[in-house]
Structure 1
Amino acid sequence: MLKFVTGLLMYSFIFPRAYVAVVPKGIKWIKDHFYDEIPKDVKWARGYQKFLLGLLFCLEVFLQSSWSAWVAYRILEYSMKAESYKWGYFLIGAICGEAALGYIARKEENVDLWVALRSIIPMGLLIEFVINPRFLDTLFGWLANISL
Protein backbone atom coordinates (compact mmCIF):
# COMPACT_ATOMS: atom_id res chain seq x y z
CA MET A 1 0.00 0.00 0.00
CA LEU A 2 2.85 2.39 0.78
CA LYS A 3 4.40 1.94 -2.66
CA PHE A 4 1.03 2.64 -4.28
CA VAL A 5 0.36 5.76 -2.20
CA THR A 6 3.82 7.28 -2.55
CA GLY A 7 4.00 6.63 -6.29
CA LEU A 8 0.54 7.99 -6.95
CA LEU A 9 1.06 11.04 -4.74
CA MET A 10 4.36 11.81 -6.43
CA TYR A 11 2.89 11.65 -9.92
CA SER A 12 -0.25 13.47 -8.78
CA PHE A 13 1.97 16.42 -7.91
CA ILE A 14 4.19 16.20 -10.99
CA PHE A 15 1.64 15.64 -13.78
CA PRO A 16 -0.70 18.59 -13.22
CA ARG A 17 2.10 21.07 -12.67
CA ALA A 18 3.94 19.90 -15.77
CA TYR A 19 0.70 19.95 -17.75
CA VAL A 20 -0.15 23.50 -16.64
CA ALA A 21 3.41 24.66 -17.36
CA VAL A 22 3.60 23.23 -20.88
CA VAL A 23 0.25 22.57 -22.57
CA PRO A 24 -1.59 25.91 -22.15
CA LYS A 25 1.49 27.85 -23.29
CA GLY A 26 1.86 25.63 -26.33
CA ILE A 27 -1.78 26.00 -27.24
CA LYS A 28 -1.59 29.76 -26.74
CA TRP A 29 1.41 29.86 -29.09
CA ILE A 30 -0.51 27.87 -31.72
CA LYS A 31 -3.53 30.16 -31.41
CA ASP A 32 -1.35 33.27 -31.64
CA HIS A 33 0.38 32.06 -34.79
CA PHE A 34 -2.45 30.25 -36.60
CA TYR A 35 -5.62 31.95 -35.39
CA ASP A 36 -5.60 35.43 -36.91
CA GLU A 37 -8.22 37.74 -38.30
CA ILE A 38 -9.86 36.23 -41.35
CA PRO A 39 -10.20 38.29 -44.51
CA LYS A 40 -13.78 38.26 -45.77
CA ASP A 41 -12.79 36.93 -49.20
CA VAL A 42 -11.13 33.78 -47.75
CA LYS A 43 -14.06 31.59 -46.76
CA TRP A 44 -12.15 28.37 -46.13
CA ALA A 45 -10.07 29.97 -43.35
CA ARG A 46 -12.97 29.96 -40.85
CA GLY A 47 -13.35 26.20 -41.31
CA TYR A 48 -9.60 25.77 -40.93
CA GLN A 49 -9.64 27.66 -37.63
CA LYS A 50 -12.56 25.62 -36.28
CA PHE A 51 -10.82 22.41 -37.33
CA LEU A 52 -7.63 23.53 -35.56
CA LEU A 53 -9.54 24.37 -32.38
CA GLY A 54 -11.26 20.98 -32.53
CA LEU A 55 -7.89 19.24 -32.83
CA LEU A 56 -6.52 21.18 -29.87
CA PHE A 57 -9.61 20.28 -27.82
CA CYS A 58 -9.20 16.59 -28.68
CA LEU A 59 -5.49 16.73 -27.84
CA GLU A 60 -6.13 18.19 -24.40
CA VAL A 61 -8.91 15.71 -23.65
CA PHE A 62 -6.66 12.87 -24.80
CA LEU A 63 -3.76 13.98 -22.59
CA GLN A 64 -5.93 14.35 -19.51
CA SER A 65 -7.75 11.08 -20.27
CA SER A 66 -4.38 9.36 -20.54
CA TRP A 67 -3.73 10.47 -16.97
CA SER A 68 -7.09 9.02 -15.93
CA ALA A 69 -6.27 5.76 -17.69
CA TRP A 70 -2.86 5.52 -16.06
CA VAL A 71 -4.34 6.10 -12.60
CA ALA A 72 -7.04 3.51 -13.29
CA TYR A 73 -4.40 0.98 -14.36
CA ARG A 74 -2.48 1.61 -11.15
CA ILE A 75 -5.63 1.22 -9.06
CA LEU A 76 -6.58 -2.03 -10.76
CA GLU A 77 -3.03 -3.39 -10.66
CA TYR A 78 -2.56 -2.87 -6.94
CA SER A 79 -6.10 -3.76 -5.90
CA MET A 80 -5.89 -7.12 -7.69
CA LYS A 81 -2.74 -7.99 -5.73
CA ALA A 82 -4.18 -6.93 -2.38
CA GLU A 83 -5.67 -9.49 -0.06
CA SER A 84 -7.55 -6.96 2.04
CA TYR A 85 -8.50 -3.28 1.95
CA LYS A 86 -9.07 -3.27 -1.80
CA TRP A 87 -11.43 -0.35 -1.33
CA GLY A 88 -8.50 1.70 0.01
CA TYR A 89 -6.76 1.55 -3.35
CA PHE A 90 -9.90 2.71 -5.11
CA LEU A 91 -10.45 5.55 -2.65
CA ILE A 92 -6.87 6.83 -2.60
CA GLY A 93 -6.48 6.42 -6.36
CA ALA A 94 -9.70 8.28 -7.11
CA ILE A 95 -8.77 11.13 -4.76
CA CYS A 96 -5.26 11.52 -6.20
CA GLY A 97 -6.41 11.21 -9.82
CA GLU A 98 -9.30 13.61 -9.47
CA ALA A 99 -7.21 16.08 -7.45
CA ALA A 100 -4.65 16.29 -10.25
CA LEU A 101 -7.38 16.89 -12.83
CA GLY A 102 -9.03 19.41 -10.51
CA TYR A 103 -5.76 21.32 -10.22
CA ILE A 104 -5.57 21.54 -14.00
CA ALA A 105 -9.20 22.69 -14.18
CA ARG A 106 -8.66 25.41 -11.56
CA LYS A 107 -5.77 26.88 -13.55
CA GLU A 108 -7.91 27.40 -16.66
CA GLU A 109 -8.64 30.94 -17.75
CA ASN A 110 -11.76 32.19 -19.53
CA VAL A 111 -13.90 29.22 -18.58
CA ASP A 112 -16.66 28.38 -21.04
CA LEU A 113 -18.48 25.21 -22.08
CA TRP A 114 -15.54 23.74 -24.02
CA VAL A 115 -13.06 24.40 -21.23
CA ALA A 116 -15.42 22.76 -18.75
CA LEU A 117 -15.84 19.74 -21.03
CA ARG A 118 -12.07 19.42 -21.33
CA SER A 119 -11.97 18.83 -17.60
CA ILE A 120 -15.23 16.96 -17.06
CA ILE A 121 -14.63 14.24 -19.65
CA PRO A 122 -11.34 12.95 -18.13
CA MET A 123 -12.75 13.17 -14.60
CA GLY A 124 -15.69 11.01 -15.56
CA LEU A 125 -13.49 8.62 -17.50
CA LEU A 126 -11.36 7.88 -14.43
CA ILE A 127 -14.35 6.43 -12.61
CA GLU A 128 -15.62 4.74 -15.76
CA PHE A 129 -12.25 3.09 -16.36
CA VAL A 130 -12.19 1.64 -12.84
CA ILE A 131 -15.77 0.42 -13.09
CA ASN A 132 -15.35 -1.06 -16.58
CA PRO A 133 -11.73 -2.19 -17.21
CA ARG A 134 -12.60 -3.58 -20.66
CA PHE A 135 -13.45 -0.06 -21.79
CA LEU A 136 -10.08 1.03 -20.45
CA ASP A 137 -8.29 -1.67 -22.43
CA THR A 138 -10.16 -0.70 -25.57
CA LEU A 139 -9.13 2.95 -25.49
CA PHE A 140 -5.81 2.91 -23.66
CA GLY A 141 -4.54 -0.65 -23.86
CA TRP A 142 -1.14 0.59 -24.99
CA LEU A 143 -0.77 2.48 -21.71
CA ALA A 144 -0.63 -0.75 -19.69
CA ASN A 145 2.84 -1.44 -21.09
CA ILE A 146 4.23 1.84 -19.79
CA SER A 147 5.47 1.51 -16.25
CA LEU A 148 6.71 4.45 -14.23
Structure 2
Amino acid sequence: MADEAYRAVFLRVHPTGKMVLSLTTEPDGNEGRYAQLVASELGVPALDVKVVPADESRFGTGHGFNTSPSDGVPTAIASATEKIRAKAHLIAGVALETPADDLKWEDGVFVGPAGARTIADIALYAHGSGELPPGVEGGLDAQAVYR
Protein backbone atom coordinates (compact mmCIF):
# COMPACT_ATOMS: atom_id res chain seq x y z
CA MET A 1 0.00 0.00 0.00
CA ALA A 2 2.95 2.39 0.62
CA ASP A 3 3.59 2.70 -3.13
CA GLU A 4 0.03 4.06 -3.52
CA ALA A 5 0.49 6.73 -0.85
CA TYR A 6 1.23 10.29 -1.86
CA ARG A 7 4.21 12.49 -1.14
CA ALA A 8 4.19 16.27 -0.98
CA VAL A 9 6.36 19.36 -0.81
CA PHE A 10 5.19 22.65 0.66
CA LEU A 11 7.09 25.86 0.00
CA ARG A 12 6.45 28.99 2.05
CA VAL A 13 8.08 32.35 1.39
CA HIS A 14 8.07 34.35 4.62
CA PRO A 15 7.64 38.16 4.62
CA THR A 16 11.42 38.45 5.07
CA GLY A 17 12.03 36.58 1.81
CA LYS A 18 13.42 33.56 3.67
CA MET A 19 11.87 30.27 2.59
CA VAL A 20 10.99 26.92 4.13
CA LEU A 21 10.63 23.83 1.95
CA SER A 22 8.78 21.13 3.87
CA LEU A 23 8.88 17.52 2.67
CA THR A 24 6.81 14.50 3.64
CA THR A 25 9.81 12.30 2.86
CA GLU A 26 12.66 11.35 5.17
CA PRO A 27 16.13 12.88 4.65
CA ASP A 28 17.92 11.48 1.61
CA GLY A 29 21.14 13.50 1.57
CA ASN A 30 19.91 15.80 -1.22
CA GLU A 31 18.55 18.58 0.98
CA GLY A 32 21.28 21.00 -0.15
CA ARG A 33 20.44 20.24 -3.77
CA TYR A 34 16.74 20.86 -3.05
CA ALA A 35 17.56 24.23 -1.49
CA GLN A 36 19.63 25.08 -4.56
CA LEU A 37 16.73 24.12 -6.87
CA VAL A 38 14.38 26.48 -5.03
CA ALA A 39 17.05 29.19 -5.00
CA SER A 40 17.74 28.96 -8.72
CA GLU A 41 14.03 28.98 -9.61
CA LEU A 42 13.22 31.99 -7.42
CA GLY A 43 16.43 33.99 -7.65
CA VAL A 44 17.48 33.83 -4.00
CA PRO A 45 20.60 32.56 -2.24
CA ALA A 46 20.39 28.86 -1.33
CA LEU A 47 21.18 29.84 2.27
CA ASP A 48 17.78 31.58 2.37
CA VAL A 49 16.02 28.23 1.82
CA LYS A 50 15.58 25.92 4.80
CA VAL A 51 14.69 22.33 3.88
CA VAL A 52 12.73 20.33 6.48
CA PRO A 53 12.48 16.61 5.65
CA ALA A 54 9.68 14.56 7.24
CA ASP A 55 8.07 17.78 8.44
CA GLU A 56 5.46 16.47 10.87
CA SER A 57 4.68 19.99 12.06
CA ARG A 58 3.53 20.82 8.51
CA PHE A 59 2.00 17.52 7.42
CA GLY A 60 1.21 15.76 10.69
CA THR A 61 1.43 11.97 11.02
CA GLY A 62 -0.79 9.12 9.94
CA HIS A 63 -2.36 10.86 6.94
CA GLY A 64 -1.42 8.26 4.36
CA PHE A 65 1.63 9.93 2.86
CA ASN A 66 4.73 8.04 1.84
CA THR A 67 7.86 9.01 3.78
CA SER A 68 10.35 7.07 1.66
CA PRO A 69 12.60 9.28 -0.50
CA SER A 70 11.64 9.65 -4.15
CA ASP A 71 13.18 10.70 -7.43
CA GLY A 72 10.06 12.87 -7.90
CA VAL A 73 11.13 15.52 -5.39
CA PRO A 74 12.88 17.81 -7.92
CA THR A 75 9.83 17.80 -10.20
CA ALA A 76 7.55 18.57 -7.24
CA ILE A 77 9.86 21.42 -6.22
CA ALA A 78 9.72 22.81 -9.77
CA SER A 79 5.93 22.67 -9.64
CA ALA A 80 5.77 24.48 -6.29
CA THR A 81 8.24 27.18 -7.35
CA GLU A 82 6.30 27.73 -10.58
CA LYS A 83 3.11 28.26 -8.55
CA ILE A 84 4.94 30.74 -6.33
CA ARG A 85 6.36 32.60 -9.31
CA ALA A 86 2.95 32.72 -11.06
CA LYS A 87 1.26 34.18 -7.98
CA ALA A 88 4.14 36.58 -7.36
CA HIS A 89 3.87 37.73 -10.99
CA LEU A 90 0.24 38.78 -10.45
CA ILE A 91 1.06 40.50 -7.17
CA ALA A 92 4.08 42.26 -8.71
CA GLY A 93 1.79 43.75 -11.33
CA VAL A 94 -0.40 45.30 -8.64
CA ALA A 95 2.59 46.40 -6.56
CA LEU A 96 4.19 48.08 -9.57
CA GLU A 97 0.85 49.39 -10.89
CA THR A 98 1.66 47.69 -14.19
CA PRO A 99 -0.24 44.99 -16.07
CA ALA A 100 1.37 41.68 -15.14
CA ASP A 101 1.79 40.90 -18.86
CA ASP A 102 4.15 43.88 -19.10
CA LEU A 103 6.52 42.41 -16.49
CA LYS A 104 9.52 40.25 -17.29
CA TRP A 105 11.20 37.73 -14.97
CA GLU A 106 14.93 38.42 -15.06
CA ASP A 107 17.41 36.81 -12.68
CA GLY A 108 14.96 36.59 -9.78
CA VAL A 109 13.37 39.99 -10.29
CA PHE A 110 10.10 41.08 -11.88
CA VAL A 111 11.01 44.04 -14.08
CA GLY A 112 8.58 46.48 -15.66
CA PRO A 113 8.39 50.05 -16.86
CA ALA A 114 7.54 51.29 -13.35
CA GLY A 115 10.39 49.51 -11.53
CA ALA A 116 11.40 46.08 -10.26
CA ARG A 117 10.51 43.76 -7.38
CA THR A 118 12.30 40.70 -6.02
CA ILE A 119 10.54 37.67 -4.57
CA ALA A 120 11.39 39.03 -1.10
CA ASP A 121 9.72 42.35 -2.00
CA ILE A 122 6.64 40.52 -3.24
CA ALA A 123 6.55 38.24 -0.17
CA LEU A 124 6.42 41.25 2.15
CA TYR A 125 3.77 42.89 -0.01
CA ALA A 126 1.74 39.64 -0.17
CA HIS A 127 1.73 39.33 3.62
CA GLY A 128 -0.33 42.45 4.08
CA SER A 129 1.53 45.59 3.15
CA GLY A 130 -0.35 46.20 -0.08
CA GLU A 131 -3.48 45.64 -2.13
CA LEU A 132 -3.79 42.22 -3.76
CA PRO A 133 -5.17 41.35 -7.18
CA PRO A 134 -8.84 40.33 -7.18
CA GLY A 135 -9.26 36.70 -6.10
CA VAL A 136 -5.66 36.32 -4.89
CA GLU A 137 -5.12 35.41 -1.25
CA GLY A 138 -2.39 36.94 0.86
CA GLY A 139 0.85 35.14 1.60
CA LEU A 140 3.18 33.39 -0.78
CA ASP A 141 3.21 29.61 -0.56
CA ALA A 142 2.49 26.54 -2.67
CA GLN A 143 2.19 22.78 -2.36
CA ALA A 144 2.81 20.03 -4.88
CA VAL A 145 1.58 16.47 -4.33
CA TYR A 146 3.21 13.57 -6.17
CA ARG A 147 3.74 9.81 -5.96
TM-score, length-scaled by structure 2 = 0.29
Higher helix share: 1
Normalised by the size of structure 1, how large is the TM-score? 0.28
Higher strand share: 2
